[in-house]
Each structure stands twice: as structure tokens, then as C-alpha cells.
Amino acid sequence: MKFKNSNKLYKKGLKNLVGAVNSPVRAFSSVGGNPLFIKKAKGSKIYDVDGNEYIDLVVSYGPMILGHRHKSVEKAAKKALKNGYSFGASTEAEIKLAKIVCDAFPEMDKVRFVNSGTEAVLSGIRLARAFTGKDKIIKFSGCYHGHQDALLVAAGSGLATLSLPGSKGVPEGAVKNTLIAEYNNLESVKKHFIEHDDIAGVIIEPIGGNMGVVIPQDNFLKELKDYLETKGALLIADEVMTGFRSKFGGAQELLGVTADITCLGKVIGGGFPVGAYGARNEIMENVAPLGGMYQAGTLSGNPIAMAGGISTLSELKKQNPYNRFEEVGSILEVILLETAKKYNVDLAVNRFGSMMNPFFTKSKVTNFEEAQTSDTEKFGIFFWEMIKNGVFLPPSQFEAWFLNSAISDKDIKVIAKAIDKAMLTVSKM
């Protein structure tokens, strides 16, 4: 497999793009080598500028849940495009998508659309502060909630991939109201409430997808919500990654919890830039123009993005691919574990429905500290062998793999062969 054109574009891109990329994880810093440049995609496949074909387990980090260029989504986007690109005014499509989203989340009465997951989260946190009248927010080490200053501490995948403890340019004052707890450790949350009386809420990824798919243990989420209710604090669920990924709705419902505020993105836009935050009326009526919490956006509710979201969620409801995701995910999990055992490679696999991640470690992974015991050098070798054998993975040990409904049985066989070859190479280290 050759990467001549990708390498050429990388060198060209260095002149006017930062690192020749527009998002750090695309730079391949943790796996070595130069980034691949993609030309097109269709169904379960993605193609680079050198004509190499890959089965795509990145799917734009989650949004392309139906596979690339699904005919219904493409048709809806083209139809919307003919009417105009952006109006700066309300459209019927916003109302339609809002109803679909609210109907899928218990106790979500209203939703506000924005343009990204980062924007959804920063707005959701502002709303929690406005509603409670308190300032401090608790987040968990390893959970990433976008690149806003206040939450860019102990933030998982991107920073871990680049071995950065935080980010330059974030002033001390920006994080003074951010408290850090340990995922799956309720006592670490309680400790903050003992020490502070001005905590507005706790933000969490129901499934920690930015430290490599970490799953809440032993009713952790339910006990967290119950505890927060005794303290008058809100639970903010960052479902930007998990929303509509493992059921038609949120992961929180599968885990037996109802968040006070839910933040969404990725799947609800069907590949177009969309984010959202929503809650019950009592909370959402604090948002302007109904209340005093201001948030606005020129492109919020963009008609093309709304069309893509409506079509994607409508098709998801029609397909109901979640049992199939569970089946395929289980097959790949077994393949990974059995192949690792065959070649005597230490491996742990975490999976939740259509999201999974193999960790090159002998330890069980239930938090960010345990995730960091992974051998990232082995992952780098595994990554490039998978690429060379036709499987496109996230270029980071700490990013989740995502399934899509276009993956076929034939694709699974290709992935299985690639895993075998990659694991064999890793075993020779």
C-alpha cells in the first residue's frame, strides 16, 4: 500500500495549515508517520487520495452511523440545498428535528440547536449555572467535553494523545470553578461537595468515549444522580458521542438514569455540523428569549444540517440497527481478544453497543488512570498494520472505534484478517 499523494499533500498543507490538519488527532502524532488525506467515501468504505480502500471504523468519529452517503440523507440534503444554504431565520425543519430528539429522551421538553458538541456543552454548563445560581462544575478525569477553557483540564483523548496535561492559553482563572473527580469513584465526587457549597452540577460522558470507551461500573451513574438530587445539583450528560449510538435515544436510559441536561451532537446531524442541548421546561425556560441565560448562533439550526439530521434519525428509527450493532460488536470483541491470546499479546477490550476500544494492557480499564497503562507503542504498530490491511482506525489509543449499519459480513471477515496480521506483528516487538 502506497501513500505518495497523502505525503505530498501533507507537505503542501504544512505551509498554510497548522500541522497540515484542522484537528490535532488527525496529525497521527501518537502513531507516527504522516496523516492520510481522504478523497471520498461510500457505505462502509473510505478512500484516500492514493486510491487505497479501507473499511471505516472511524466514521467521522461517530456521525456516519448509517455509513457514508446514505441515499436518504443525501437526497434530503440536496433537496434542502436547492432552497438556500442559510437564512438567519427559523425554519420548519428545526421544529421537526426538535420533536424527534425530544421524543427520544425522557423528560426533555425543549432543545436548542447549536453548531457543535463543544458549543452544546458550554451552553449546557452555562444553563446549569443559571438554573442553580451556583458556579462550580465537577468533571471527570479523562472525559473530554470540547475545547472550551473551563473544561480543558484532565480532558482525555486529544490531550493524552499529545501527552499534554492541559492546554497553553487557558488562564488559571478560567478553570478556578472546575473540579476534577475520578470516573467510577463516587467518593471523589462527595469529597468536593464536602469542601464546596457552590457546585452547580456534574458533567459526565455516560460512556467515557474519549479515554477509549470506559463504562460506568456497579450502578455508578444511578448512585451519582441520586446523590446529586440530595445536594440540589444537576447531572449534565454529555451524549455528543453516545446519543443515538446504542439505542434510539441516549445511553443514559440504557444505564437507568435520566440527566437534568443532555448535550448532543454527531449523529443528530448525520455528518453535518450540529450540536444541541435540552432539558425539561423548568430548566430550558431560563434560556433566552424566555429567560436570562443568553446563547445565540448565526448558523444554529442551519437548514441543510437540519435536513441531514431529520433524515438520519428517521432512517435509524426505520432500520433499528441496534441489535445488529450488538451482534457485530460482540463478534469483533471476541476476535480481538482471541487473536491477542493466540499471539500472547496483553489486551483488554471495552465495548458498549456500537462503540469499542482495545487497550494494549493486561489491566481492566475503568478510569483514565487505568487507560493510561496501555502500551501506546504497540497500538501505533497495530494501527499501521490495520491501515496496510485495509481497515481505517482512529489514530489514537484513546479514541473509540465506531460501527455503522453499512458494515457487511464480508467486511467483518476483512477486519478479522487484518486483526490477525496486525496482532502477529505486535507480538514480534
Active site residues: 144, 238, 266
Alpha-carbon span 63 to 268, nearest angstrom: 8
Which H, E and C letters describe 165-232, residue by residue? CCCCCCCHHHHCCEEEECCCCHHHHHHHHHHCCCEEEEEECCCECCCCCECCCCCHHHHHHHHHHHHC
Parallel, antiparallel or unpaired: strands 110-114 and 38-42: unpaired
Three cell numbers written together for 2: 502506497
Residue 240: in which H helix or E strand, if any?
none
Please report how many Cα atoms fall inside a 13 Å half-sphere around the Cα of residue 110, on the Cβ side. 13
Determine the 3-state secondary structure of 93 from DSSP: helix
Runs of H (alpha helix) within 3-162 = 4-13, 71-81, 92-104, 117-132, 157-161
Element housing 249 (H / E): none
Q: What are the angstrom distances between the C-alpha of 257 and each of 101, 267, 351?
A: 17, 21, 19
Indicate the residue type of 428: K
Provide Rg for the chain, Cα atoms: 21
d(CA 374, CA 355): 18
CA-nearest of 183, 261, 177 to 215 is 183
Using DSSP, state whether 322 is helix, strand or coil: helix
> How many Å apart are CA 93 and CA 303, to the nearest integer?
7
- Could you tell me the CA-to-CA distances from 37 to 26, 27, 64 in Å, in that order? 10, 11, 18
Q: Are strands 45-48 and 234-238 parallel, antiparallel or unpaired?
A: unpaired
Residue 404: helix, strand or coil by DSSP? coil
Angstrom distances, CA of residue 301 to CA of 78, 297, 309: 17, 9, 10
